[in-house]
Amino acid sequence: MKLEFLVNDLLALSTSEFPAAASSAILPTPEKDDVLLHDPTTRALRLGLFYEQLTMLLFGGEPGKTFSPLVRELDLLTRPDIVDEQKQCFLESKAICSGQHCLILDSQLQGYDTLTEHFPAYSISFALYRHSLPGIKSSWAGTASDLFGELSSSTAYLISLPYALVCALQQKGISDPFSRLVYRYHNPYTTFDTCVCIRSSTITRLATEPEIVIADLDLAGDRFSVDRYSSPALRINNTPINRFPIIQISDHSLLKPPEKPAGAELPF
């Protein structure tokens, strides 16, 4: 199915508009507006910056870079993209081009596991954005402003996954390295981290039939719920973002977090 038809079908399933935390944001970059992004790594970083900002517009929170001192202090393997102290949650955003898989590093999940040991009251969610802008790391050319503008019209849909579901996909890759849901990458002769790759078809199924994917992972269906929304009117750098469907999967097995002692603050 063509992506535009899939998006229209998903929007038709939306029951309401997502209650976003904010409606607009200005996203500065280190480069001047007319500086071309020649380096693939820089383009990838700007891609991540855009979707981190979009995630904060939708869900709230602050950039996870404020968490960096604690990450160094605890010798963690990763830091969250976004931290929301009020809602007590960590958020991770990932951008996946249409037809591509989503890569989840073992080291990243190990880092989140350690975070949960230090902050057991905090939930973790992964925001997976499907977009239709190809070649960002290879052939795409333009400035950061160009990239943000094109992503504003190329974001196809968002799937919000609870951490338990992300971990279940990782475990599926360990127990069945070449399953139809995921595949496992491990090469001892390279420096690239061991990871699980969520297949492109699985990402599509998480948008169209998440309940069946949950069953395929041998997870209890009544543990999770699926809510379907359309994005509200959003703007980044005064550019409107095209409306896109949001599929939010929630884990209801999480216990209500304990009340924070008066005056308790995160150490960042």
What confidence tens digit (pLDDT) does each residue in 162-205 have? 999 999 999 999 999 899 999 998 776 666 788 999 999 999 99
- Helix and strand totals (H; E) in the chain: 8, 14
- Binned at pLDDT 50, 70 and 90, residue 268 comes out as very low
Give the model's pLDDT for residue 140: 94
Q: What is the pLDDT averaged over residues 223-251?
A: 98
Q: Is 131 exposed, middle or buried (0-12, 13-18, 19+ CB in 10 A)?
A: buried
235/205 Cα distance (integer angstroms) = 28
238/241 Cα distance (integer angstroms) = 9
Q: What is the pLDDT averaged over residues 134-140?
A: 92
| Cβ burial 82-118 (10 Å sphere, 16+ → b, else e) | bbbbeeebbbbbbbbbbeebbebbbebbebbebbeee
Q: What is the pLDDT averaged over residues 104-123?
A: 90
What is the reported pTM? Answer: 0.91
Give the model's pLDDT for residue 31: 78
Q: Name the β-bridge partners of 197.
A: 103, 183
Length of the chain measured in residues:
268
Instruction: Tell me which of 253 and 6 has the higher pLDDT.
Output: 6
User: Does residue 215 sit in helix, strand or coil?
Assistant: helix
Average pLDDT over the chain, rounded to an integer: 90
